[in-house]
Structure 1
């Protein structure tokens, strides 16, 4: 079986795009794990599959490199939006994901903006294992939780560079409080409109950048009264912009870059 793909990255958060609009290819979890293997496969953090859609430019499905599905991936959404815009010669597209219809626009050659939809804040939507308020969780460090289509847990710390992201991220990802596991982020507030963010992604490990994690971190900071509505997010791999007015969708803007195209032959 041959699978054509494009590899891209957003601030080092790498993913591949598989276009299924003209050829249906099964993508079972075991195949995704083989493709995601950095030694024996292509290597990526997420896989995004494009298919046809009646009410949008295209439909997107996402998987982590370990084969687990997810509803949201800000990096891959921006990458696919760039691909669709270049195909159509337009500066705006609408993409249907598990989060609904996401409106995307171009801001310069490789800067893509996406309305990621409203955050989910109720304990059952994230989900958490038991009913509770989600602004402060009963865990050491008093993190906050929300969902951007995938679960997020945000710790606010004094010095983010002193955090052992792998040890703490791995432990929190699998905490019983999160029945579907969780992304984990550590935030140092530099100013009300600027944060330093380090990320542990569910099913993928330490990430140099993540669109949905950046959105969730800013949402939780705004809910705590720590941040302004528009925030510059400094990830390990580069800078993103996130805006949220407390009610509507979370607006994400950042760069995305094509890396190479290829064919996987199994």
Structure 2
């Protein structure tokens, strides 16, 4: 069975997008997602994105990390899918309903409302998520928030100086986070500007993380370190995040690109 795909990226965070909205595909497995994501023997990507029909929205988007695990949301993939779809849409994800609006060479995405309750992150036990009384190495007292995916945000003096390749996996797999967690180190450059690096759950260090940008901007606004809109600079480029600091949705605006299209034999990636 020959299957077409689109290779896309948002600020270097790259995806293999499979469109099964009109022609169904066999069930996606963790092993197949890992095989497709492999950069030596597969197509290569940070996430495999599967588009399917939805009974409640225009379509459904499923997100498989490079390790085969399934994520609830992906901001960069949402912009890429908006570009591919070509018109505004409401999209069902495991993390909730989002709204896409293509804009120029990218999109504006309504990522839904952030959740701060410890059960919603989720954490293994109750604690204050605004300043968690925990630490790993030089990283301490993060803010935790769920923006479709669970995130912890550490504010640091120099984001580039943090050994995130070492601390990231340790924090991701800590028993405090029963569903694992995305790890963000954010540096406040100005009241409307953050520098950010992200260890992404199931993918590792990435050039950009849309939900990480949302989580970090929300954390900065909640701690009164920044005011909306916030430009978040990641290694792959900039995103603009808007949030009213209350019960409103997070709005993310940024670019996306299609790199190429191709096809593969489904059974070659079992």
Q: Determine if the TM-score, normalized by the shorter chain, exceeds 0.5.
A: yes
Partner SS state of residue 131, structure 1: coil
Partner of 1:13: 13
| Aligned counterparts, 1:43-122, within 5 A | 43-85=44-86, 90=87, 92-108=88-104, 110-122=105-117
Distance in 1 (CA, whole Å) between partners of 2:99 and 2:146 is: 19
Task: Report if the CA contact (8 A) 2:80-2:106 is conserved.
Answer: no
1:94 positional shift: 1.9
Partner SS state of residue 220, structure 2: helix
Q: Which runs of 5+ in 2 are unaligned?
A: none
Task: Report if the CA contact (8 A) 1:93-1:103 is conserved.
Answer: yes
Partner SS state of residue 60, structure 2: strand
Normalised TM-score (structure 2): 0.93
Normalised TM-score (structure 1): 0.95
| Aligned counterparts, 1:105-184, within 5 A | 105-108=101-104, 110-140=105-135, 141-184=140-183
Regions of 4+ moved over 4 Å? none
Partner SS state of residue 220, structure 1: helix
Task: Report if the CA contact (8 A) 1:99-1:117 is conserved.
Answer: no
Distance in 1 (CA, whole Å) between partners of 2:124 and 2:228 is: 30
**What is the total number of aligned residue pairs between the two structures?**
260
1:210 positional shift: 0.9
Distance in 1 (CA, whole Å) between partners of 2:80 and 2:201 is: 20
Partner SS state of residue 212, structure 1: helix
Distance in 2 (CA, whole Å) between partners of 1:224 and 1:72 is: 24
CA RMSD of aligned residues (A): 1.1
Partner of 2:223: 224
Task: Report if the CA contact (8 A) 2:106-2:254 is conserved.
Answer: yes
Q: Which runs of 5+ in 1 are unaligned?
A: none
Distance in 2 (CA, whole Å) between partners of 1:190 and 1:3 is: 45
Partner SS state of residue 126, structure 2: coil
